[in-house]
Structure 1
Amino acid sequence: MRLRRKPWARPELAACPFYIDNPPEMKGKWRELFGNDSPMHLELGCGKGGFISKVAAANQQINYIAVDIKSEVLALAKRKIESEYSAAGITEINNIKLMSQNIELIDDMLAPTDAIEKIYINFCNPWPKSPYKKKRLTHGKQLTRYKTFLKPGSEIWFKTDNNELFRESVKYFEENGFIIKYTTEDLHASGFTESVPTEHEIMFSREGIKIKFLTAVYME
């Protein structure tokens, strides 16, 4: 479903202290921006912020970068983050940054010195037709980009409802120097307890669709 244009979205983001207007300018400077040496995690395609707001509010010792390409959804994510932090009694939002960026060019905004330690990819576009599979966020072409800023030993956590995407993604990871640490084709029956549910995950689960999940470790 296409999100309607929201005229208020861009002005609201422009006034947001944790929104970064030009992320490529921060390449190699993210630790300086956060002002500490805490681990940095990255969500690719944060959508309306249901996942990242909960994870970031619950883990103040970790810095988070949340990326999406649409201002309309980022503005909703901004509001969700503010709401989640307020509910948790956190008065200052210091450990998360929002930004708009084409994920296919994600390495334009992150350098090796930024040393990302975890990437979350939740319910990305499956791009089922062969000519477009290279646009998948788990495709080898993208994994090569991620490796330019991942710290050795870092993990990618990947969730999807799509069987074909999941099984082909396992191959992408293995072919590109990642070790599959954990995998399940039915997350909610697996006993894995460290995962925070996303909006899509809740929706698909209610429809009886099993959630596929893996963690892959980057080995330099």
Structure 2
Amino acid sequence: MRLRRRPGVKEKLLSYNDLVILNPEQFKGKWNTVFGNSHPIHVELGTGRGQFITTLAEKNPDVNFLAVEVREQVLLQAVRKADGKGLNNIRFLLFNLNGIDHLFSEKEVRRFYINFCDPWPKKRHGKRRLTHSSFLLKYKTFLTEDGEIHFKTDNEALFEFSLNEISACGYKLRNIIFDLHHSDFQGNVMTEYEEKFVLEGKRIYRCEAIKTETLDD
């Protein structure tokens, strides 16, 4: 379902000028200057309403978080959550991830989070998936030497596709879980979608991809 663009939303986003960055390309390669420190940078690709990323930011004050979202109205909800918690280690980027090359420089990001992204189920749309090799190879460039991708989905076909793509791109797979909420995994932070899916009895799939230097990029 597409969200209608509501008038005045961008102006409301701009009123949170300490949290929102509408032209993030200008900070490529210098995100730590935005935060004024050298803490590791973690990025959520498609932050939605922000429950996941604001919870992490609240629990991890020594990490700098970037939340990327293309939908203005949804991003505004996430920003309001962060503002209500008084967080200063998070920034929100209104940005289309197709242009991710313009956001980050080599070895700038410690961790990417991809949560419940659009599965793009039709085969001809495969390259649009955020876990397609074309994206994964870009992430690999942006990640630090020990960088990671943490991925969750409720879509079994997307999870299988993603495991194959991740492996083919030379990452090391870790913590592959086929039923997260019936596993012994500790420290899971849920998104709004995840809470809904769990209540519906859906299985949640999760894995971590670790950047390695053992294979050629």
The TM-score bracket by the shorter chain reads over 0.9
**Contact persistence 1:179–1:217 (CA under 8 A):** yes
C-alpha distance in 2 between matches for 1:50 and 1:8: 23
C-alpha distance in 2 between matches for 1:110 and 1:75: 23
C-alpha distance in 1 between matches for 2:60 and 2:19: 17
Aligned-residue offset at 1:102: 1.2
Aligned-residue offset at 1:97: 0.6
Q: Which amino acid in the other structure matches residue 43 of structure 2?
A: L
Question: Which structure 1 residue ranges, 5 or more long, are not aligned?
Answer: 86-90
What's the secondary structure of 2:165's corresponding residue?
helix
Aligned-residue offset at 1:164: 0.4
**Contact persistence 1:63–1:95 (CA under 8 A):** yes
Aligned equivalent of 2:97, options 87, 93, 103: 103
Instruction: Tell me the number of residue pairs that the alignment of Structure 1 and Structure 2 aligns.
Output: 212
C-alpha distance in 2 between matches for 1:153 and 1:29: 19
Residue of structure 2 in register with 1:127 after alignment: 120
C-alpha distance in 2 between matches for 1:26 and 1:94: 17
Residue of structure 2 in register with 1:190 after alignment: 183
C-alpha distance in 2 between matches for 1:158 and 1:194: 14
Residue of structure 1 in register with 2:56 after alignment: 55
Aligned-residue offset at 1:100: 1.2
Q: Which amino acid in the other structure matches residue 180 of structure 2?
A: L
Give the TM-score normalised by the residue count of structure 1: 0.93
**Contact persistence 1:66–1:98 (CA under 8 A):** yes
What's the secondary structure of 1:107's corresponding residue?
helix
The equivalences for 1:16-165 within 5 A come to 16=16, 17-83=18-84, 85=85, 91=86, 93-112=87-106, 115-165=108-158
Q: In terms of mean alpha carbon deviation, does 31-40 or 4-13 score higher?
A: 4-13
| Percent of pairs with identical residues | 42
What's the secondary structure of 2:166's corresponding residue?
helix
Q: Which amino acid in the other structure matches residue 12 of structure 1?
A: K
Residue of structure 2 in register with 1:88 after alignment: none
C-alpha distance in 1 between matches for 2:79 and 2:72: 10
Aligned-residue offset at 1:48: 0.8
**Contact persistence 1:107–1:146 (CA under 8 A):** no
User: What CA deviation, in whole Å up to 9, does each residue of 1:68-126 have, x standing for no partner?
Assistant: 1111111111112122x1xxxxx4x321010111112212111115x211110000000
User: What CA deviation, in whole Å up to 9, does each residue of 1:139-159 have, x standing for no partner?
Assistant: 000011112211011111000
Q: Which amino acid in the other structure matches residue 95 of structure 1?
A: N
Q: Which amino acid in the other structure matches residue 191 of structure 1?
A: D
Q: Which amino acid in the other structure matches residue 172 of structure 1?
A: E
Residue of structure 2 in register with 1:167 after alignment: 160
After the TM superposition, which segments of 4 or more aligned residues of structure 1 sit over 2 Å from their partners? Answer: 1-8
C-alpha distance in 2 between matches for 1:188 and 1:148: 32
Aligned-residue offset at 1:6: 2.6
Q: Which amino acid in the other structure matches residue 99 of structure 2?
A: L
C-alpha distance in 1 between matches for 2:37 and 2:30: 11
**Contact persistence 2:42–2:64 (CA under 8 A):** yes
CA RMSD of aligned residues (A): 1.1
User: What CA deviation, in whole Å up to 9, does each residue of 1:40-85 have, x standing for no partner?
Assistant: 10000001111111111111110000001111111111112122x1
Question: Which structure 2 residue ranges, 5 or more long, are not aligned?
Answer: none
